A and B are shown apart, each in its own frame.
Chain A
Amino acid sequence: MGVSVRMAGAEVRLGETRLRFPDLDLGPGEELVVLGPSGSGKTTLLYLLAGLLRPQNGEVWVGGSALHRMGEKERDVYRRRTVGLVFQEFHLLPGYTAWEQVVLGLALSGVRGKAAWDRARNLLVRLGLGTKLHRWPNALSTGEKQRVALARAVAHGPGLLLADEPTAHLDRMRAQEALEVLVEVSRMTGATLVVTSHDPLVYERFARRLRLEG
C-alpha cells in the first residue's frame, strides 16, 4: 500500500551548501518525477524522503510519520519497513548472487528463512531473471543489474519507492524498458513512486513533476 508524502519548508545544510526544497504533497500511490540540473539536490531530496538525512528546518511527513522528529534508530526502522531505494549506481553488493541481494533486502525488513527465499525467487522470475538467480553482479548486464536492484527495493512491499536516475546508464531503448518495469512494479505493489531524473524520457512519462532550481 502506498503512503502519503508531505514536505513543508524543508531545508538541508550539507557543509556550506544550504538546500531549500519546494513544498510537496503526494497522495498514496501517486507518481512523481523530480527534475533539475546536477547539484540541484535531487538525490538529497530522495535521501531526505528515505530518512537517511534529517532536515535542519521544516517538516517531512511520510505515511503520517514525522521524519523530521525521528531519531536515527527510528529512521532505520522506517527505512526498512516503509522505503524501497534504487540507487543510481545500483549498489549491488559483491559476494551476493542476484537471489541473495533480494533476500538481503527482505531479511533486513524482517522476512527470513524459506519465505524470504521463495518471495525473492518469485519476484526475480516475474522480472525475467529466473535464469539469473545465481549470477554474481559482475555477470549481469546493466539492465539486469537494475532489475535486481529494483527487486531488492520492492521485495518487502514498501509504501514509498524511491529511484535515483533510473535511466542514467541505459540507451534509449533500454531506458524505456527500465522505466516501464519501474512503473509497472510500483503500480503492482501500490507504492508511492518518486523518481529523480534529468532525462526527458522520464519527464514525459510522469504527470506530476517537481522542478528543483540549481
Chain B
Amino acid sequence: MVLWIAWRNLRSRALEAFLASLGVALAVTLALIVPMVLRSLERGTKDFLQVFDLLVARKGSSAQAVLSSLFLLQPPAGNLSYELYRSLEKDPRTKRLIPLAFGDSYLGFPVVGTNGSFFTLSQGPSSAPFFALREGRIFQEGPIQLEKGTAYEAVAGARVAREAGLKVGDLFLTGHGFFASQEEAAQATEHRPISLKLVGVLKPTGSPYDRAVLVPIGYYWEAHGQGEEDRQVTAMLFTGKSLAHIYQVQQELGRSSEAMGVLPGQVYADLRSVLAGGETLYRALGIGVLFLAASLVWLEALSESLERRRRLAVLRALGGGRGLVFGVVLTETLLEVALGLVGGVGLAHLLGLGVSSSLGERLGFYVPPPRVDGDLLVSVALLLPVALIVALVPALQAARSSPLEYL
C-alpha cells in the first residue's frame, strides 16, 4: 500500500518528481560515461595489441611509434635502414620479422607495405591468424606481369573494401600522401604510378588494419625508386624464438642511435596507468556530482509544498498512522532516485554507444559497446542508501506534524 500511495503522490507532482529524477539521471550519466568509454577503448585495444611482440621503429617516442605503426594514426618519426632490417632478418634469435612501410594512400586509406608473414600474426602460439582472409588469397611478394605492364598484388582490409567498393580482381593506383581521387594519385610527382591488383580481402578484425591496403614491401621500394643501396623500411615487427630473445633485442636496439624496440603491451600498460589516474580523478568528481544530486533530492523532500503537507494530513485523517506517512515520504524519495538511477544508467549506455561508435570511426578501430561493470553500478547504486538517509529527516518531519495544521 505504501508503494501504491507513494507512486500516486509522485504522479500528482509529476513535474517536480520528473525534475528531481532528471537531476539524478544526469548526475549518474556524468559519473558513468567517461569510465565506461575508457574501459571500452581499453577492451578494443587490448586484444589487438596482443598480436604484436616487439615493434622496431625509429628512435623517438614509443607512444608515437605505436600510434603510427599499429594504429595508423600519426605520421612515423622516420625510416629505418635496410641494413638494420637485413641484420635482424639474419639474427639467429629471429623467428619472424615483418617489415612495415607507410606513407602512401588509396582514397584516404593508408597503404601498408609488408610481407607475407604479416598474415601469420596471431594473439598466441596456438591461436588462429588474426588477419584472416574473407575471400581471395594473400599477395605474392614480387611484381606480376599484366597486358599493360608491371603491377603488384594487394590485399584490402574489410572496411577499405566495403567503403571504397574494392573487389578481388580490381586494378587501382596509390599515391604518396593522401589523395582524394585516382587522377591526383596518378599525377603525384614523388611516386611512380604502378598498378595494384586486388587479390584478397581480409575478414573484419575490429583493428585499425581494417582500413589498410596491404601491399608487398617491394611495391613501396619500386614506387619510390629505392634501389638495393637506399632501401628503407618504416618499422618492423619482430618475433623472437623465445621471450628472452625479445627482451635481448629490445635492449640492444635501445643502445643504438637509430632504432628502438617497443613492447606494445608495455605501452598499453603505461597508457592504462595514466588512464587509471584520470579515471580515479573523474570518479571522485562523479561521486561529488552524485552527492550534489542527493542534496537536490533532499532539498526537494525537505521544502515540502503546502499541497504535499495537506495530502499527508488527509492520509492521517483517513486513518493512516505516522508509520504510513513516514514510509510514504521515504518511498517517494527512493522512487525518485531509483527512477533517476535507471534513467541515468540507460542514458549513459545510449551516450556511450554513440561516443564509442564515433570514437571507433575517428580512430579507425572497433571500440566495443560500453557496458556498466559491476563496480561502476555499485558506485552509482550507493545513491539509494544515501537517498534513504537524506530522506529520513523530511520523512520524520512529515510523520510528526499534526494533520490538523493542514486540514
Nearest A residue to B313 via CB reads A91
Q: Most chain-A CB neighbours within 10 Å: which of B310, B316, B407?
A: B407
Q: Which A residues are in CB contact (< 8 Å) with B322? A: 72, 76
CB distance from A184 to the nearest CB of B (A): 22
Checking B10, B316, B319 against A109 with a beta-carbon cut-off of 8 angstroms, the contacting residue is B319
The B99-139 residues at the A interface (CB cut-off 8 A) are none
A104 to B1, CA, bound (A): 9
B317 adjacent to A76 (CB under 8 Å): no
* A112: Cβ under 8 A from any B Cβ: yes
Checking A72, A96, A105 against B8 with a beta-carbon cut-off of 8 angstroms, the contacting residue is A96
* A95: Cβ under 8 A from any B Cβ: yes
A93 to B4, CA, bound (A): 13
* B351: Cβ under 8 A from any A Cβ: no
Interface string of A147-173 (1 = CB under 8 A from B): 000001000000000000000000000
A83 to B318, CA, bound (A): 8
Given A93-B314, A94-B311: A76 and B407 interface contact (C-beta under 8 Å): no
Interface string of A42-71 (1 = CB under 8 A from B): 000001001011000000000000000000
B4 adjacent to A76 (CB under 8 Å): no
A107 adjacent to B321 (CB under 8 Å): no
Q: Which A residues are in CB contact (< 8 Å) with B11? A: 95
The B293-340 residues at the A interface (CB cut-off 8 A) are 307, 310-311, 314-322, 324
A52 adjacent to B4 (CB under 8 Å): no
A76 adjacent to B320 (CB under 8 Å): yes
Given A47-B404, A87-B407, A104-B5: A93 and B311 interface contact (C-beta under 8 Å): yes
A152 to B315, CA, bound (A): 12
* B13: Cβ under 8 A from any A Cβ: yes
A107 to B1, CA, bound (A): 7
B407 adjacent to A91 (CB under 8 Å): yes
CB distance from A61 to the nearest CB of B (A): 19
Q: Which B residues are in CB contact (< 8 Å) with A83? A: 319
* A24: Cβ under 8 A from any B Cβ: no
Q: Which B residues are in CB contact (< 8 Å) with A93? A: 8, 12, 311, 314
A120 to B12, CA, bound (A): 21
B317 adjacent to A50 (CB under 8 Å): yes
Main secondary structure of the interface of B (DSSP, over half): helix
Interface string of A78-107 (1 = CB under 8 A from B): 011101010100010111100010001101
CB distance from B342 to the nearest CB of A (A): 21
B319 adjacent to A108 (CB under 8 Å): yes
B9 adjacent to A95 (CB under 8 Å): yes
Interface residue range, chain A: 20 to 34
B interface size (C-beta, 8 A): 25
* B177: Cβ under 8 A from any A Cβ: no
* A73: Cβ under 8 A from any B Cβ: yes
CB distance from A56 to the nearest CB of B (A): 15
CB distance from B6 to the nearest CB of A (A): 10
Q: Which A residues are in CB contact (< 8 Å) with B8? A: 93, 95-96, 100
Nearest A residue to B1 via CB reads A107
The A6-40 residues at the B interface (CB cut-off 8 A) are none
A129 to B10, CA, bound (A): 26
A123 to B316, CA, bound (A): 23
A140 to B5, CA, bound (A): 21
A91 adjacent to B319 (CB under 8 Å): no
A52 to B318, CA, bound (A): 10
A108 adjacent to B320 (CB under 8 Å): yes
A79 adjacent to B12 (CB under 8 Å): no
B1 adjacent to A85 (CB under 8 Å): no
B321 adjacent to A94 (CB under 8 Å): no
* B403: Cβ under 8 A from any A Cβ: yes
Enumerate 26 A-B pairs (CB-CB under 8 Å) in ascending A order. A47-B407, A50-B317, A52-B404, A53-B404, A72-B322, A73-B321, A76-B316, A76-B321, A76-B322, A80-B319, A81-B319, A87-B407, A91-B317, A91-B407, A93-B314, A95-B8, A95-B10, A95-B12, A96-B12, A100-B8, A104-B318, A107-B1, A108-B1, A108-B318, A108-B319, A108-B324
Closest 8 A/B residue pairs (Cβ)? A95-B12, A80-B319, A94-B12, A79-B319, A95-B11, A76-B321, A95-B8, A91-B314
Chain A residues close to B by CB (< 8 Å): 47, 50, 52-53, 72-73, 76-77, 79-81, 83, 85, 87, 91, 93-96, 100, 104-105, 107-109, 112, 152
Q: A87-B407, A91-B314, A108-B1 are in contact. List 4 more A-B contacts (CB 8 A).
A: A52-B403, A76-B322, A104-B5, A108-B320
